[in-house]
Structure 1
Amino acid sequence: MTTGETFDCRVAFADELRALARDDERIVAVCNDSVGSSNLGGFAEEFPDRLINVGIAEQDMVGVAAGLAGGGYVPFVCGASPFLTGRALEQIKADLAYSNAHVVLCGMSPGMAYGPLGPTHHSIEDLAWLRAIAGMTIVVPADPVQTRGAVRWALDHAGPVFLRIGRFKVPQVMPDGEPFQIGRAGTLVEGDDVTIVAAGTLVSRAVEAAARLRASGIRARVLNMATIKPLDEAAVLAAATQTRGIVTAEEATVYGGLGGAVAEFVVQHAPVPMRLLGVPGVFAPTGETEFLLEHFGLTAEGIAAAARDLTGHHRG
């Protein structure tokens, strides 16, 4: 389902975290001078003793979270994704993943959500470098329903998790109350001509692309791949064997993220034509997020065009 209304998933995240914290005293929030941008104002007001603001010190932030996890707490570490993942990558690897610490990393405003602030604030590499770390679970919710479900799931997961929480507003695509299942892709549109595998902000655009393709006689399957790691290999295998090709779409570099994960599996198990949509190995320019998505063809029409090209259907 899609609705006309759009939502900031950071709000859904913050509301769910606060609701869970009322019943679970283990939950603490750790941030890097990002109370406002992480929507933690309500949490700070309700639980002033359970919010730790380390200032602009991301390495310390992750280290503090590892210590809190060792003491029996469940830290939700909130910060702008480019700095949380880029500046603290060594601590994420050594203090969290290697130690299998129960810490939830919440990468806020990922992708190109900070568009006007330029390449230093674009977080298009986070999926790639975190996917390379053993033991990391990577979740990219598509809408507020899935965001709330992922927060609930992460609270009970034993190891480290990266939740990529979007700032760019998106419509609801999942039914109310839909349970979150790790490693399971959601089939939003059925089709047997081509498969579109999308994550996060691109899922609703993939659904719209499928509608455009259907109007021209192409039946596109749409998979909401909210879990980048572990990947739903069964769904990918079905796409590769039941449709003529796969298009992946993500608000990230095409190297090493969703497209890379799907391609790595496909080439080893069921080679099929693919198109990988994202940022093509360049620094994204400065500009509004909508402009940047259009610039890289990350729109409904851009996704539809890639599917037409893959299947040999071209507009005259």
Structure 2
Amino acid sequence: MSIAMRDAFGKKLAELGATHPELVVLDADVSSSTKSALFGKAYPDRFFNVGVAEANMVDIAAGMATAGYHPVVNAFAIFLALKATDQIRNTICYNNLPVIIAGAYGGLSDSFDGASHQSITDIAIMRALPNMQVIVPSDSAQAEKALEYALTQKGPVYIRLNRNAMPDLPPSKTIETVCAAEGSDVTIAANGITASFAVEAVTLLAQQGIKAEVLSVPVVKPLDLAPLAKSVAKTGRLLCVEEHVLAGGFASAVSEAFMKQGISCKFDAIGIEDTFTESGPYEPLLAKYGISAENIADRAKALCK
């Protein structure tokens, strides 16, 4: 089990501050939760707590970006994606500014605060914005790679971060699609923390004679189609899994790309249906909405019939 994604991200922010003098960090009065406080402690003159004002924070970051800085804005994913949408669109994306938007407590990971704080539409919103790249890390190492990558970009990048610690996946040198398990019967393309449940599902499927291939796909936009297409050419079946509503998210991105390229296969997707979620312990809550090793195995098995 790795350290929590937010802890890894906060430590990496502080670490990169030493080698990236252009890096400035802004937070909306939740730095103890987002862990951006670690950067603030190390570089107090480059850290700005703007208070509970996400939209203003985004505009301030945009201004800094025009002055040669590379800002990272930190707040809960749901408030960045909803309260600051106008500013993200019109000041950052329209001007293609190098601002990193770090959405903490993504998906259902703010589990006990309920539907008002659970971010289940952020990927669809951010993916629709021109110039915006969208990354959903699966573990703490991928979160660190995402930040390193984003700092090399000349435009905006949205990184959705999870609150909790998740099992480590096979490492990669960059933020890219990772094959977490090899198989020949069905491809499971898992976005974000769902990858660890997909890896668990491989064992359950193997007990039934089904060999599943698991791809951890953190980059939703721009989507790297080649590894998915290569795997599906072998298996003929694809199950997408995401911690997000099915409308407009990861599975939608994959479906659009497959249709455009004329790639056909048996297909299914696991995500949150057309509903709001609720309060509760994180993993039982995920399971209620279909994100569990058991449900992934059942849906993959059904595809193989």
Same fold (TM over 0.5): yes
Distance, in Å, in 2 between the alignment partners of 1:45 and 1:77 is 16
Q: Are residues 1:120 and 2:119 paired?
A: no
Q: Is the 8 A contact 2:272 2:290 kept in 1?
A: no
Q: Is the 8 A contact 1:244 1:311 kept in 2?
A: no
Q: Is the 8 A contact 2:2 2:140 kept in 1?
A: no
TM-score, structure 1 as length reference: 0.93
**Aligned residue in 2 for 1:311:** 304
Report deviation, 1:67.
0.3
**Aligned residue in 2 for 1:282:** 275
SS state at 2:158 partner: strand
Give the RMSD, CA atoms, in angstroms. Answer: 1.2
Tell me which of 225, 231, 239 is aligned to 2:217.
Answer: 225
Identity of aligned residues (%): 35
Amino acid at match of 2:25: A
Amino acid at match of 2:211: R
**Aligned residue in 1 for 2:191:** 199
Q: Is the 8 A contact 2:13 2:36 kept in 1?
A: no
Q: Are residues 1:165 and 2:161 paired?
A: yes
Distance, in Å, in 1 between the alignment partners of 2:204 and 2:134 is 30
Report deviation, 1:179.
1.2
Q: Is the 8 A contact 1:146 1:174 kept in 2?
A: no
Distance, in Å, in 1 between the alignment partners of 2:144 and 2:81 is 22
Q: Is the 8 A contact 1:145 1:174 kept in 2?
A: no
- Gaps in structure 1 of 5+ consecutive residues: none
Amino acid at match of 2:173: P
Tell me which of 241, 266, 275 is aligned to 2:258.
Answer: 266
Distance, in Å, in 2 between the alignment partners of 1:160 and 1:35 is 21
Q: Are residues 1:68 and 2:64 paired?
A: yes
In the TM superposition, structure 1's runs of 4+ consecutive aligned residues that sit over 4 Å from their partners are none
Q: Is the 8 A contact 1:236 1:266 kept in 2?
A: no
Write out aligned runs for 1:1-316 (5 A): 5-175=1-171, 178-181=172-175, 184-268=176-260, 269-312=262-305
List per-residue Cα deviations over 1:136-177 (Å, max 9, x = no partner). 1111111111111111111111110001111122011133xx
TM-score, structure 2 as length reference: 0.97
Aligned residues: 304
Q: Is the 8 A contact 1:143 1:174 kept in 2?
A: no
Distance, in Å, in 1 between the alignment partners of 2:207 and 2:224 is 29
SS state at 1:124 partner: coil
Distance, in Å, in 1 between the alignment partners of 2:38 and 2:143 is 18
